[in-house]
């Protein structure tokens, strides 16, 4: 049985994004204006389609209950686009596309959420070992590049690879500590309450300490009105992954002790050499 897609070609990525990420969101936005229901699209399954196209690897037709790709790649997706927001004045939910609260008509009291993360479910030794034995964990995030400017016209889709079997061993340490020190201990205290999955926060200190290789990034300008897709980076399946592809860690993520340890300069990012001197912070 072939592992690769039977009809792989360069334009397939753009077509996949337009068909599964752009068009459905525009349709949901239009219906949301009528129904006042959320226009949030669930990225889990569509993320698996995009993973297969970018990696040129077929899926296993298992949904969320088995292997994601035939080469063993595990795919995790999260979206920070179209999260439900909250008006702190009248306490109603507000859609991301609403400039003002639909109830009190105020725009200065809306809290915009940007807190979605990747969820790693590890509920047994078998689950833990499955992650530890992965050759590749693929992380996909959909977000607003200009969120801090309160500009929600453009979105980006970025894909990262983490290699649990390779150095550094930070990812293995991260999930092992979670299972032993958080999941197992909390389950012992309250066997009837299943602890929450491991939260891996995008762009966090722990995320960067796992040496995520950025393999794909695109920007969709004016995604709801006049979408224009631009591929900013795309490592092909056969392209080598190099240290230059590792997402740089911002200096702003360091705490006071770490800054003192590294004698931090005014550089924007931590150098690869300095990064190797840091501990994981589990």
| Cβ–Cβ < 8 Å for 145, 151 | no
**Taking each helix axis from N to C terminus, what angle separates 125-132 and 170-177, rounded to the nearest 10 degrees?**
170
Which two tokens mark 16? 């996949």
Q: What is the pLDDT of residue 100?
A: 87
Output the DSSP codes for 13-38.
Answer: HHHHHIIIIIHHHHHHHHHHHHH---
| Cβ–Cβ < 8 Å for 138, 160 | yes
* Residue 275 pLDDT greater than 70, yes or no: yes
Q: What is the pLDDT averaged over residues 100-115?
A: 86
Q: In this predicted model, what pLDDT tens digit does every residue of 225-263 receive, in sequence order?
A: 999 999 999 999 999 999 999 999 999 999 999 999 998
Q: What are the φ/ψ torsions at residue 194 (nearest 5 degrees)?
A: -75, 125
Which two tokens mark 243? 């240290």
Q: What is the pLDDT of residue 66?
A: 64
Q: What is the pLDDT averaged over residues 57-69?
A: 78
* Residue 224 pLDDT greater than 80, yes or no: yes
Give the β-pairing of 213-221 and 228-234: antiparallel
Q: What is the pLDDT averaged over residues 93-112?
A: 84
Among 21-30, 84-93, 177-186, the least confident range: 84-93
* Residue 94 pLDDT greater than 90, yes or no: no
Distance CA 137, CA 139 (A): 6
Q: What is the pLDDT of residue 65?
A: 60
Q: Which helix (H) or strand (E) holds 218?
A: strand 213-221
What's the mean pLDDT when you consider all of the chain? 91
Q: What is the pLDDT averaged over residues 30-42?
A: 84
Output the DSSP codes for 87-118.
Answer: ETTT--EE-TT-SS-TTT--STTEEPP----E
Residue 155's DSSP bridge partners are: 220
Q: What is the pLDDT averaged over residues 113-139?
A: 95
In residues, how long is the chain? 282
Tell me how crowded residue 174 is: count the other CB atoms within 10 A of its CB.
22
Which two tokens mark 253? 């993520």
Bond preceding residue 44 cis, omega within 30 of 0: no
Q: In this predicted model, what pLDDT tens digit does every residue of 155-177 receive, in sequence order?
A: 999 999 999 988 779 999 999 99
Collapsing DSSP to helix, strand or coil, 194 comes out as coil
Give the β-pairing of 137-143 and 74-79: parallel
Q: Residue holding tokens 């340890």?
A: 261
Q: In this predicted model, what pLDDT tens digit does every residue of 1-13 receive, in sequence order?
A: 578 887 777 799 9
Distance CA 277, CA 182 (A): 26
DSSP 243: G
DSSP 250: B
* Residue 118 pLDDT greater than 90, yes or no: yes
């Amino acid at each position: 049985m072939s592992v690769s897609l039977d009809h792989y070609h360069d334009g397939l990525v753009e077509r996949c994004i337009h068909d599964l990420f752009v068009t459905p969101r525009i349709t949901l936005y239009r219906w949301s204006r009528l129904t006042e229901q959320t226009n949030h699209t669930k990225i889990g399954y569509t993320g698996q389609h995009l993973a297969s196209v970018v990696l040129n690897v077929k899926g296993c037709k298992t949904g969320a209950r088995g292997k994601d790709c035939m080469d063993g790649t595990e795919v995790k997706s999260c979206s920070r686009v179209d999260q439900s927001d909250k008006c702190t004045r009248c306490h109603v939910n507000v859609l991301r596309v609403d400039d003002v609260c639909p109830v009190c008509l105020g725009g200065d009291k809306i809290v915009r959420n940007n807190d979605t993360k990747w969820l790693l479910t590890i509920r047994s030794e078998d689950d833990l070992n499955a992650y530890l034995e992965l050759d590749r964990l693929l992380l996909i995030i959909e977000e607003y590049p200009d969120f801090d400017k309160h500009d929600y016209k453009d979105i980006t889709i970025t894909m990262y690879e983490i290699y649990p079997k390779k150095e550094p061993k930070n990812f293995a340490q991260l999930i092992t500590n979670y299972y032993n020190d958080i999941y197992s201990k909390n389950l012992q205290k309250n066997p009837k309450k299943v602890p929450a999955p491991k939260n891996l926060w995008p762009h966090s200190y722990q995320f960067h300490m796992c040496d995520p290789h950025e393999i794909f990034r695109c920007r969709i300008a004016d995604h709801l009105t006049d979408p224009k897709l631009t591929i900013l980076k795309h490592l092909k399946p056969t392209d080598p992954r190099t240290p230059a592809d590792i997402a740089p860690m911002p200096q702003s993520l360091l705490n006071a002790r770490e800054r003192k340890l590294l004698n931090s300069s005014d550089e924007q990012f931590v150098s690869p050499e300095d990064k190797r001197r840091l501990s994981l912070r589990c």
